[in-house]
């Protein structure tokens, strides 16, 4: 059975920020979230450049070498960010990115920064990305608990980002099956809304659009000091592809 994605994205600049540095893509094979690094100039330019390169990949991908094609698109995006940063107005800009490319019954995953990926399967939620942040390193060393990290004043200090310098993304494969629901989000959601509340929202709505709207609303209800962007994608049978294959 062939699979495809029914994906939507919802974004809000939040209640404090004057602009939205997040960008996202919700395609039938490719989904992604990019978050311009907070405090850096022109973060919105960097995130849009990355999503633009991924959007081109979504349109031209021929179904082969998913991991290689995804990595190549992000290499091109990184190069584009580096060229744009030569403009003094953009110097120092960067962005996170988390992207999934559906390849049969699995996803190629690429990740840089702290935009997270979650999988809801059979009612169980798990995070399949690791935050590239200072506080995550403290958690890994046993200095902080996960709950303490959520409240830490330096929780948004990323240790890796797309900023024009050579930096390969963390790559992995994620098994995919019909009925799965995937969430990609910027830290405007995950820093302020608990995993339990995220799991409850993901499991409460049959359709992805109201689910995505609910997740953003949860962030707004707790004050949403940062931009918040989500992509909610359901894995479903691709009947057209199955019919074409005979």
**Looking at the domain assignment, is residue 245 inside a domain?**
no
- The CATH number linked to 196 is 3.60.40.10
> Can you tell me the mean pLDDT for 62-77?
93
Query: Does 45 reside within a domain?
Result: yes
Q: What is the pLDDT of residue 224?
A: 82
What's the pLDDT score for residue 168?
79
Q: Quick check: 243 pLDDT over 60? A: no
| Structural domain for 149, as ranges | 3-240
Quote the pTM value.
Answer: 0.93
Where do the H-state alpha helices sit in the chain?
43-60, 66-84, 134-140, 146-151, 187-190, 195-202, 208-221, 239-244
Mean pLDDT along residues 195-205: 97
Running DSSP on this structure, what letter comes out for residue 164?
A: S
Higher model confidence: residue 89 or residue 94? 94
Is 99 a member of any domain?
yes
**Residue 120 binned pLDDT confidence (cut-offs 50, 70, 90):** very high
Question: Residue 6 to residues 52, 77, 169, 182: CA-CA distances in angstroms?
Answer: 20, 25, 25, 10
Residue 22 in any domain: the answer is yes
Report the phi/psi class of residue 27: left, alpha or beta, with left for phi > 0 and alpha for psi in -120 to 50. beta
Q: Which residue has the higher pLDDT, 138 or 193?
A: 193
Q: Which of 137-141, 171-175, 195-199, 227-231 has the lowest mean pLDDT?
A: 137-141
Please give the C-alpha separations between residue 191 and each of 30, 42, 55, 78, 150, in angstroms, as whole numbers: 25, 22, 27, 26, 6
Instruction: Indicate if the pLDDT at residue 242 is higher than 60.
Output: no
**Which whole number is the average pLDDT over 77-103?**
93
Q: Which residues contact 40 (CB under 8 A, 6 or more apart)?
A: 46, 92, 93, 94
- Residue labelled with tokens 């074409």: 244
Range from 43-52, 85-94, 229-238 carrying the lowest mean pLDDT: 85-94
Number of structural domains found in the chain = 1
Domain membership of residue 132 (yes or no) is yes
Query: Is it the case that residue 244 has pLDDT exceeding 80?
Result: no
Local structure of 169: helix, strand or coil:
coil
Residue 246 forms part of a structural domain:
no
Average pLDDT, the chain: 91
pLDDT number for residue 209:
98
**Mean pLDDT of all residues in 176-196:** 96
The confidence band for 217, taking pLDDT boundaries of 50, 70 and 90, is very high
Give the separation between CA 115 and CA 71, rounded to whole angstroms: 17
Residue 231 lies in a domain: yes
Checking if the pLDDT of 179 tops 90, the result is yes
């Amino acid at each position: 059975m062939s699979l495809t994605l029914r994906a939507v994205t919802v974004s809000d600049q939040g209640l404090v920020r004057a602009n939205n540095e997040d960008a996202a893509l919700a395609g039938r094979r490719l989904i992604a979230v990019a978050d311009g690094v907070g405090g850096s100039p022109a973060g919105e330019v960097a995130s849009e450049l990355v999503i633009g390169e991924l959007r081109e990949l979504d349109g031209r991908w021929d179904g082969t070498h998913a991991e290689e094609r995804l990595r190549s698109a992000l290499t091109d995006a990184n190069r584009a960010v580096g060229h744009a940063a030569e403009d003094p107005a953009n110097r120092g800009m960067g962005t996170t990115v988390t992207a999934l490319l559906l390849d049969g019954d699995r996803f190629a995953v690429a990740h840089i920064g702290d935009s997270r990926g979650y999988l809801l399967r059979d009612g169980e939620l798990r995070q399949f990305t690791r935050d590239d942040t200072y506080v995550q390193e403290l958690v890994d060393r046993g200095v902080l608990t996960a709950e303490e990290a959520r409240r830490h004043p330096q929780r948004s200090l990323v240790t890796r980002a797309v900023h024009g310098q050579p930096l390969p993304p963390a790559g992995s494969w994620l098994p995919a099956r019909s009925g799965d629901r995937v969430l990609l989000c910027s830290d405007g959601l995950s820093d302020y809304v608990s995993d339990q509340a995220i799991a409850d929202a993901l499991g409460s709505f049959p359709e992805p659009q109201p689910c995505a709207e609910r997740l953003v609303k949860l962030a707004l209800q707790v004050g949403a000091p940062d931009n918040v962007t989500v992509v909610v994608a359901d894995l479903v049978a691709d009947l057209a592809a199955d019919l074409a294959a005979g």
